[in-house]
């Protein structure tokens, strides 16, 4: 009986020792490794981001007034052209004949008017000498005035015919670059389709659409950074130039326009662009990296209306090396950082990696600090 009691005592002691060692091991393993950074104050640039298309600052489509075949082009796509230069020539055989007829008719009337002028001057002289009756003089005067009217009519017809013939020589209304050519030589020009488009590319504009809630933060003159896929490592600086005074009633969006210099013509009309417009700066505010934040959404009822509310949480490492969860009171959020006015303090250790494995109160270790101590 005594031996049996001793045996049970030894077994109980062994189990107790084993349990203590196991609990100690579990406590050591529960410390979760994390990476941290100190909470710092800084300036946060407030921005709004949009996607849009690049357009030329000025684009003009040039049409043919004459529906006839294109005889030749003097320019090709990408060529620079000055104002007044001939772009293309339209075959205008019919109009050319009309001009010749108008010239012939005009010349005939000029000769007739010259003869009538001589006759009228003679009639005036004879009428003054009482050698011609009033009735005869009135008849000559009427013929003279009629011939002068015919001369004016013939002159106007000739000017009109020459103007139509000049339309066969399609000239550039502005200086710029030929953006697109819509025909080939020999094609029949139609009044509804332009012959070419001319673009001015020394400056370009980016057209985007802004939401109704963004309009309160936007103002003309604000700085904008433009990026395109063709130059991924380069940004182009411009300014917000226009904000539409009206919104589309279907989309509730307003058109905005960013204007920027393009001296090297790197930016081409039709390119897809990303625009980042600076709307303000929060100075000396607490800054939290976005990748350190755990985000969640909740449904909040206010005045009988449910509203989705976004919450932001972080973990701080306390002096006792445990994780402490904090909810942030946020002033501004972008894809890189969050500006905070409550929830963390300057100099606190913010968990930036491993936060998804934490719970409030769990012990943590910071491997980087342990290595530094060694």
Residues 201-214: pLDDT tens digits?
999 999 999 999 99
Task: Please provide residue 16's backbone torsions phi and psi, each rounded to the nearest 5 degrees.
Answer: -60, -45
Give 349: exposed, middle or buried? Use CB within 10 Å, 0-12, 13-18, 19+: buried
Mean pLDDT on 75-92: 91
Q: β-strand 323-327 against 305-317: which pairing, if any? A: antiparallel
Model confidence at 315, pLDDT cuts 50, 70, 90, reads very high
User: Which CATH code is given to the segment(s) 49-56+206-281?
Assistant: 2.40.30.170
Question: Which run of H or of E encompasses 296?
Answer: strand 294-302
Residue 304 has a pLDDT of 73
Model confidence at 11, pLDDT cuts 50, 70, 90, reads very low
**Range with lowest mean pLDDT among 21-25, 338-342, 368-372:** 21-25
Residue 29 has a pLDDT of 47
Task: Provide the terminal-to-terminal Cα distance of the chain, rounded to the nearest Å.
Answer: 56
**Range with lowest mean pLDDT among 186-200, 296-310, 330-344:** 296-310
User: Which CATH code is given to the segment(s) 32-45+285-373?
Assistant: 2.40.420.20
Q: β-strand 32-33 against 364-365: which pairing, if any? A: parallel
**Considering the chain, what is the average pLDDT of its residues?**
87
Residue 37 has a pLDDT of 94
User: Sign (positive/negative) of CA torsion 120, 122, 127, 128?
Assistant: positive
DSSP state of 322: B
- The closest of 262, 63, 275, 282 to 167, measured between CA atoms, is 63
**Range with lowest mean pLDDT among 74-88, 129-143, 193-207:** 129-143
Residue 95 has a pLDDT of 73
Mean pLDDT on 234-246: 96
Distance between CA 113 and CA 262 in Å, rounded? 61
For the entire predicted model, the pTM comes to 0.68
- The closest of 199, 260, 270, 269 to 226, measured between CA atoms, is 260
Distance between CA 120 and CA 142 in Å, rounded? 10
Residue 311 has a pLDDT of 93
98-129: b (≥16 Cβ within 10 Å) or e: bbeebeebbeebeeebeebeeebeebeeebee
Mean pLDDT on 251-258: 95
Its CATH architecture, for the domain 64-89+167-194, is Beta Barrel (2.40)
Model confidence at 373, pLDDT cuts 50, 70, 90, reads low
Residue 6 has pLDDT above 70, yes or no: no
Residue ranges of domains in the chain: 32-45+285-373, 49-56+206-281, 64-89+167-194, 93-165
Model confidence at 312, pLDDT cuts 50, 70, 90, reads very high
Model confidence at 4, pLDDT cuts 50, 70, 90, reads very low
Distance between CA 221 and CA 242 in Å, rounded? 9
Distance between CA 310 and CA 326 in Å, rounded? 15
Contacts of 300 (CB under 8 A, 6+ apart): 306, 307, 308, 309
Residues 137-183: pLDDT tens digits?
888 889 888 888 988 988 888 888 777 777 888 999 999 999 999 99
> Between 129 and 27, where is the model more confident?
129
Give 217: exposed, middle or buried? Use CB within 10 Å, 0-12, 13-18, 19+: middle
> Between 247 and 66, where is the model more confident?
247
Mean pLDDT on 359-367: 91
Instruction: Tell me if the domain spanning 93-165 has CATH number 1.10.287.
Output: yes
Residue 281 has pLDDT above 90, yes or no: yes
Q: Which two tokens stand for residue 100?
A: 């010749």
Mean pLDDT on 82-101: 84
Residue 101 has a pLDDT of 84
């Amino acid at each position: 009986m005594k031996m049996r009691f001793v045996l049970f005592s030894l077994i109980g002691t062994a189990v107790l020792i084993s349990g203590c060692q196991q609990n100690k091991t579990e406590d050591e393993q529960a410390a979760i490794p994390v990476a941290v950074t100190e909470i710092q104050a800084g300036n946060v640039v407030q921005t709004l981001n949009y996607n849009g298309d690049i357009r030329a600052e000025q684009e003009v489509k040039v049409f043919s007034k004459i529906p006839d075949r294109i005889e030749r082009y003097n320019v090709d796509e990408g060529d620079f052209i000055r104002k007044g230069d001939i772009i293309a020539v339209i075959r205008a055989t019919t109009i050319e004949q009309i001009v010749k007829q108008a010239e012939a008719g005009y010349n005939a009337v000029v000769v007739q008017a010259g003869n009538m002028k001589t006759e009228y001057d003679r009639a005036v002289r004879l009428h003054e000498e009482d050698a011609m009756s009033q009735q005869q003089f009135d008849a000559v005067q009427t013929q003279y005035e009629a011939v002068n009217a015919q001369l004016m009519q013939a002159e106007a017809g000739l000017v009109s015919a020459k103007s139509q013939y000049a339309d066969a020589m399609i000239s550039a209304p502005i200086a710029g670059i030929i953006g697109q050519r819509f025909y080939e030589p020999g094609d029949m020009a139609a009044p509804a389709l332009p012959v070419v488009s001319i673009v001015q590319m020394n400056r370009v504009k980016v057209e985007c659409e802004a939401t109704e809630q963004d309009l309160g933060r936007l103002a003309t003159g604000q700085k904008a950074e433009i990026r395109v896929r063709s130059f991924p490592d380069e940004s182009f600086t411009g300014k917000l130039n226009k904000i539409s005074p009206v919104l589309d009633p279907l989309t509730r969006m307003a058109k905005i326009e960013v204007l920027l210099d393009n001296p090297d013509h790197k930016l081409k009309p039709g390119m897809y662009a990303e625009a980042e417009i600076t709307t303000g700066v929060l100075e000396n505010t607490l800054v939290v990296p976005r990748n350190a934040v755990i985000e969640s959404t909740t449904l909040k009822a206010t005045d009988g209306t449910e509203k989705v509310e976004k919450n932001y949480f972080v973990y701080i490492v306390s002096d006792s090396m445990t994780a402490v969860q904090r909810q942030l009171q946020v002033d501004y959020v972008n894809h890189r950082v969050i500006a905070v006015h409550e929830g963390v303090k300057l100099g606190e250790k913010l968990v930036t990696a491993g936060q998804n494995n934490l719970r409030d109160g769990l012990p943590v270790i910071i491997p980087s600090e342990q290595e530094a101590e060694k």
